Chains A and B, each alone.
Chain A
Amino acid sequence: MTRSEAILEAVSLRKVFHTGGVFSRKEVIAADDVSLALRPRHAVALVGQSGSGKSTVIRMLAKLYDPTAGAILYEGEDVTTKRKRRDIFDYRSKVQMIFQDPFGSLNSTQKIDYHLRRPLRLHGKVKNARDERLRIGELLERVSLTPVDEFAKKYPHQLSGGQRQRVAIARALAIEPRVILADEPVSMLDVSIRISILNLLIKLRDEENIAFLFVTHDLSSARYFSDEILIMHKGKIVERGVSAEVIENPQDDYTRLLLSSIADPSRVF
């Protein structure tokens, strides 16, 4: 694998949340000294249990949270402090996100084509109505929602969880991003269809040169999908490396504990 330039980099990101009301304030360090780099056609998995801070990291990278310290670099340019609407819009035209809950991430009052038409129009990807229709069809085809005309006219509640997640992926693709941040994209789906969503993401990574950050609590799917695994524990990255290496030869105690906790029938039989 040739090691290409990083598109998106996190440098020593730190996030401190203040909880409590006006009278009692507490500090919670959600993420501390987190660094990672995303490259085209490369997937990085950020693995951690609930409360490990992995969701905080992905939200900082999506510019939904401002980091307390550290920097986010897009193609080497520091975008950490860019808060103007226009700048954030430009950033998100390159960096998109997919969520965990396929039931919650779509607008239940709008048909599927609306979810694709909006990003296409907002980001000036289509010239006219005909073009728009073609693009929507093409996007649905790319995520295997066929026949496209039928799916375009359906409401989210008429789709299964896996199909909805495909719509969410198509919506992100509509913007033609270079980076996709995926927040537990399969953990709420039926077991039988998880792999097909992961396979779809793999296909997109390879065919469209998209850089992926894959946040998950599940080491097995992290290994399946990603080239590189970062293990996060209590806000810090405790181990990082090439996927197979991390799993077959873990260095950190927490990683070892995590690995020994994962069910593995091949160990028993």
Chain B
Amino acid sequence: MNYLLRRLGFYLIAALLAIVINFFLPRMMAGDPVDVMLAGFDTSSLTPEAIDQLREAFGFIDAPLPEQFATYVSNLLKGNFGVSVARYPTKVVDILGVALRWTLLMTGTALILTFSVGVLLGIQAAWKRGGFVDTYVLPFGAIMGAIPYFWVALIALYVFALQLGWFPLGRAEASGIPADWTNPNYVMGVVYHLALPVLTLLIAGFRSWMMGMRNNMVAVIAQDYITMAIAKGLPDRRIKYQYAARNAILPSLTGFALALGFLLGGSLLTEVVFSYPGVGLTLLNAVNTRDYPVMQGIFLILTLMVLLANFIADSLYILLDPRTRS
């Protein structure tokens, strides 16, 4: 439990850092941040009260920095991430709400898939040196690591959706079916739209797990307890999974944060390519319209999600490694 508490403290610090970055970025730029924010917009529709409201949401009040920061944090704690300047007066939270669900669906599915496929392939590559996975899949993965995610998505979209017509060209739901999760047709539509983006993420993303797992496996296989397990005459399956993989997966979990970060970045861009109505597409629109409140809101929310996912991975670690429990 001590271990989890320590990790929790660490994530609180990380969250604080993200908030600090968010808070200081606008203040580091030349000129009045709100003026910058509004630079590209027709401000005639905004009343002076609305502008003040914006100021307050970001803590741009006439007060010393610590007080500004306090205002900003207390707003965040109340769930107030400010209002969009491009779609004024829609709240950032409301814009994100729907998008976040689609992103969670896509990234979550991709995470589970890339993790399982990558880890299994990594186990196999290390276990059978010179086997199929080691000889062909591993170099393929290495090459995929050097190709931009979104470009893989572009090619997949071009080949499988546009040329072959196997998959839809974009969006998340089938048109003409009302959103109803109890309706199998609707769910099928969602799955159909999800399939290609997730597959491209899998193709482009399994490698980071595979490489990590394979390197850990190679290191673990050289350990004395593996030699002893072989000498004990245990069945190969037991040595491979209970002795080698069980130990090799532990460092993979500690590298979880990094891999998740990459995957998330990839999935944001994949959304852009597939016009998938998630956070990535929202972010793109915000970038194009220079909608700073939305951008910053997205950054913060995504960071918190990643921290949460990491915390879950840490809890899993405790289940798998008895040494952390004492």
- In the complex, are there CB atoms of A and B closer than 8 Å? yes
What's the least CB distance linking A265 to chain B, in Å? 30
**Is A261 in the interface zone, CB < 8 Å from B?**
no
In the complex, which residues of chain B have a beta carbon less than 8 angstroms from the beta carbon of A124? Answer: none
In the complex, which residues of chain B have a beta carbon less than 8 angstroms from the beta carbon of A24? Answer: 2
Query: Chain B: which residue is nearest A24 at the CB level?
Result: B2
Contact with B along A3-46 (1 / 0, CB 8 A): 00000000000000000010110000000000000000000000
**Is B6 in the interface zone, CB < 8 Å from A?**
yes
Query: Chain B: which residue is nearest A21 at the CB level?
Result: B6
In the complex, which residues of chain B have a beta carbon less than 8 angstroms from the beta carbon of A23? Answer: 2, 5-6, 9
Residues of chain B in range 141-179 having any CB-CB distance to chain A below 8 Å: none
Query: CA–CA, A23 to B6, complex, Å?
Result: 8
In the complex, which residues of chain A have a beta carbon less than 8 angstroms from the beta carbon of B6? Answer: 21, 23
Residues of chain B in range 172-196 having any CB-CB distance to chain A below 8 Å: none
Q: For the complex, count residues of B whose C-beta is within 8 A of A.
A: 4
What's the least CB distance linking A22 to chain B, in Å? 8
What's the least CB distance linking A98 to chain B, in Å? 30
What's the least CB distance linking A151 to chain B, in Å? 34
What's the least CB distance linking B236 to chain A, in Å? 35
Residues of chain A in range 195-210 having any CB-CB distance to chain B below 8 Å: none
Residues of chain B in range 5-19 having any CB-CB distance to chain A below 8 Å: 5-6, 9
Query: Chain B: which residue is nearest A20 at the CB level?
Result: B2
What's the least CB distance linking A127 to chain B, in Å? 51
In the complex, which residues of chain A have a beta carbon less than 8 angstroms from the beta carbon of B5? Answer: 23
Query: CA–CA, A189 to B40, complex, Å?
Result: 75
Query: CA–CA, A24 to B2, complex, Å?
Result: 9
Contact with A along B23-57 (1 / 0, CB 8 A): 00000000000000000000000000000000000
In the complex, which residues of chain A have a beta carbon less than 8 angstroms from the beta carbon of B9? Answer: 23
In the complex, which residues of chain A have a beta carbon less than 8 angstroms from the beta carbon of B2? Answer: 23-24
Query: CA–CA, A24 to B6, complex, Å?
Result: 10
What's the least CB distance linking B12 to chain A, in Å? 13
Query: Chain A: which residue is nearest B2 at the CB level?
Result: A24
Query: Chain A: which residue is nearest B9 at the CB level?
Result: A23
What's the least CB distance linking A103 to chain B, in Å? 19
Query: CA–CA, A123 to B5, complex, Å?
Result: 51
Query: Chain A: which residue is nearest B6 at the CB level?
Result: A23
Query: Chain B: which residue is nearest A23 at the CB level?
Result: B6
What's the least CB distance linking A19 to chain B, in Å? 14
Query: CA–CA, A21 to B10, complex, Å?
Result: 13
Query: CA–CA, A23 to B3, complex, Å?
Result: 10
Query: CA–CA, A102 to B201, complex, Å?
Result: 50
Query: CA–CA, A23 to B2, complex, Å?
Result: 9
In the complex, which residues of chain B have a beta carbon less than 8 angstroms from the beta carbon of A21? Answer: 6
What's the least CB distance linking A26 to chain B, in Å? 12
Query: CA–CA, A204 to B43, complex, Å?
Result: 89
Query: CA–CA, A23 to B4, complex, Å?
Result: 12
Query: CA–CA, A21 to B3, complex, Å?
Result: 11
Query: CA–CA, A93 to B9, complex, Å?
Result: 47
Query: CA–CA, A21 to B9, complex, Å?
Result: 13
Query: CA–CA, A28 to B322, complex, Å?
Result: 24
What's the least CB distance linking B6 to chain A, in Å? 6
What's the least CB distance linking B10 to chain A, in Å? 11
What's the least CB distance linking A176 to chain B, in Å? 44
What's the least CB distance linking A9 to chain B, in Å? 42
Query: CA–CA, A57 to B5, complex, Å?
Result: 36
Query: CA–CA, A44 to B233, complex, Å?
Result: 50
What's the least CB distance linking A23 to chain B, in Å? 6
What's the least CB distance linking B319 to chain A, in Å? 21
Query: CA–CA, A75 to B169, complex, Å?
Result: 86
Query: CA–CA, A21 to B6, complex, Å?
Result: 9
Contact with A along B51-89 (1 / 0, CB 8 A): 000000000000000000000000000000000000000
What's the least CB distance linking A167 to chain B, in Å? 30
Query: CA–CA, A77 to B9, complex, Å?
Result: 48
Query: CA–CA, A195 to B294, complex, Å?
Result: 75
What's the least CB distance linking B5 to chain A, in Å? 7
Query: CA–CA, A24 to B1, complex, Å?
Result: 12
What's the least CB distance linking A102 to chain B, in Å? 24
Query: CA–CA, A119 to B5, complex, Å?
Result: 49
Query: CA–CA, A21 to B324, complex, Å?
Result: 14
What's the least CB distance linking B325 to chain A, in Å? 14
What's the least CB distance linking A262 to chain B, in Å? 27
Query: CA–CA, A23 to B8, complex, Å?
Result: 12
What's the least CB distance linking B38 to chain A, in Å? 44
What's the least CB distance linking A228 to chain B, in Å? 39
What's the least CB distance linking A202 to chain B, in Å? 38
Query: CA–CA, A74 to B5, complex, Å?
Result: 48
Query: CA–CA, A243 to B9, complex, Å?
Result: 55
What's the least CB distance linking B152 to chain A, in Å? 41
Query: CA–CA, A23 to B9, complex, Å?
Result: 10
Query: CA–CA, A23 to B5, complex, Å?
Result: 9
Query: Chain A: which residue is nearest B5 at the CB level?
Result: A23
The 5 closest A-B pairs by CB, nearest first: A23-B6, A24-B2, A21-B6, A23-B2, A23-B5
Query: Can you list 6 residue pairs at the A/B interface with Cβ under 8 Å?
Result: A21-B6, A23-B2, A23-B5, A23-B6, A23-B9, A24-B2
